[in-house]
Amino acid sequence: MRLGAAIRRWGGGWMRRPRSAAPAGGAPSAASGEESARLEALLAARQVQRYEIERWRAAFAALPEPCVLLNQAGRVLFANREAERLLGLEEPAPAGTALDDLLRRTAGMRVWREPLADGRNAELGELVVLRDPSGEARDEQVLGEFLSHISHELKSPLNTIRSYAEMLLEGSVDRAATQKEFFNVITEESCRLAKLIDNLLDLSKIDRGALVPQRARLRLESLVGELVRAAEPQARAKGIQLAARVPSNLPTAFADKDLVGVALNNLLANALKYTPEGGRVQVRASHDEGTVCIEVEDSGIGIPPEERERVFEKFYRGASTEVRKQPGTGLGLALARQIVVLHGGTLTVDGAPGRGSTFRIVLPVGGREQREAFGLPEAT
C-alpha cells in the first residue's frame, strides 16, 4: 500500500490505531501482523512529517520580514504574520489566492522573489519577500538627503582649506597677522571635518554594538565647566550670553567622560548654532535621588512639537528655513541620544518655535553600591 493510500484509508487519525488492522474475531495472521507493523511505521512517519511542517510553519510565521510562500502554480500557500500586517489582512490569506490579488491591497508594494527548489532541483514554488513602499521611499529620501548634506558638509570645509592654503602658498598674504588668521581658519575647518567623521564613526560603532563605554567616576561639574569654557569664543563671536549654573555638590556619575562630553558638546554646539545673535544659552545641572539632570537651554528658534522626537533620528534635519540656513548633517542629536541611552539615561527636548529649546539629559548616578555592583574603578 502506498503512503498516500494508507493515510487516506486510515482517515489521517493522529496517533489513532487503525481499527481494521487486525481481522475481527481471531488471532492476527503473520501477514496481517506485518501489514499492521508497516502501517504503524507509516503513521509514525506521517506524525513526524506533520510535526516538522508545524514547526516550520511556526518559524515562518514568526519571521521578522513580511514573506509569502507560493506553490508551483504561483498561488499563495501561506503568508506570515508580518505579511498579513503589511497587507492589512484581518484573517489569514486563504490558500490558493493569486499573489496579484494580495498585492493589489497595497499600492506600489515592492516584491523580491526567490524560486525554491528541493535537493534534486525540482521546483517547489517561490518565496516572496514584500517591501513596504512607504518605508522604502522614506529610506531612499533620507539616504538622498544624507548624501547631499554629507557631501556639502565635507566639501565646504575642504574648499575653504584649499583656498586659504593656496593663498598662503602663492605668497599673496604678506602680513604675519593675516597669515596667522588664515592658519586659524584652516585649523578650525579641519577640526570641523574631523568632528563630522568622528560622529559618523561613533554612530556606526554604536549600531554595530562595538562601542563600549569606558565608565569611571565622572565629575560632571568639571566636564560642563570645560565644555562651556571651550564654547565661549564662539558664543562671544555671535553676541550670545553663555552661562553655566552647576552646583558643586553634584553626585558623581559613573560614565565615559569622552562620550558624555561628545553628547553634551553636541547639545551646546546646537544651542549656539540655532540661537540668533544676541540670544542666551544656559547649561544647568541638578540632582535628585539616584539621578543627575543636565539641561542645555537656549532662547533660539525652538522646535515644533511634531519634530520633537524626529530630531533624534539619524540624518533628520528640521524642515524650517531657519534650520536649513545652518550647516548640519542631522547626526549630532542621534549620537547624543545613543550615548545617553548607552549609559542608562534619557535625552529629551522641550520648547516651542520662537521660544527656544531645552534639551535634558538624565543620567543615573552611582553611589558606592553602584560602583561595587559594576566592579568599576575609581577615576583619578
Q: Is 362 in the site for ligand ADP (CB under 6 A)?
A: no
> Alpha-carbon distance 294 to 347, whole Å?
10
- The only residue of 317, 337, 343, 360 in contact with ligand ADP, by rule CB under 6 A: 317
Question: In the complex, which residue's CB is closest to ligand ADP?
Answer: 318
Nearest to 285 by CA among 363, 378, 367: 363
Other Cβ atoms less than 10 A from the Cβ of 242: the count is: 22
Distance separating the N- and C-terminal Cα atoms of the chain = 83
- The 3-state secondary structure of 54-68, one letter per residue: HHHHHHHHCCCCCEE
Smallest distance, Å, CB 96 to ligand ADP?
50
Range 231-239 contact pairs with CB under 8 angstroms and sequence separation of 24 or more: 231/265, 231/268, 231/269, 231/272, 234/272, 235/272, 235/281, 238/272, 238/275, 238/277, 239/277, 239/278
Could you give the CA distance from residue 24 to residue 123 in angstroms, rounded to a whole number? 46
* 166 bridge partner residues: none
Is residue 334 a contact point for ligand ADP (CB under 6 A)?
yes
Q: Does 154 bind ligand ADP (CB under 6 A)?
A: no
Q: Which stretch binds ligand ADP (CB under 6 A): 7-15, 79-87, 164-172, 299-307?
A: 299-307
Q: Out of 331, 339, 362, 363, which residue is the one contacting ligand ADP (CB under 6 A)?
A: 331
Contacting residue, 274, 285, 337, 345, with ligand ADP by CB under 6 A: 274
- From candidates 157, 318, 345, 366, binder to ligand ADP by CB under 6 A: 318
Q: Which three cell numbers stand for residue 171?
A: 605668497
Residues touching ligand ADP, count (CB under 6 A): 22
In the range 27-46, which residues lie near ligand ADP by CB under 6 A?
Answer: none
Asked if 241 and 235 touch (Cβ cutoff 8 Å), the reply is yes
Rounded to whole angstroms, what are the CA distances from 56 to 48, 59, 62, 363?
Answer: 12, 5, 10, 44
Closer of 218 and 301 to ligand ADP (Cβ): 301
Q: Which is nearer to ligand ADP, 161 or 281 (CB)?
A: 281
Of 300, 347, 362, 363, the one binding ligand ADP (CB under 6 A) is 300
Nearest distance in Å: CB 371, ligand ADP: 32
* Nearest approach, Cβ of residue 200 and ligand ADP (Å): 12
Which residue lies nearer to ligand ADP by CB, 80 or 357? Answer: 357
Residues lying near ligand ADP in the complex (CB under 6 A) are found at 266, 270-271, 274, 298, 300-303, 311, 316-318, 323, 328-334, 357
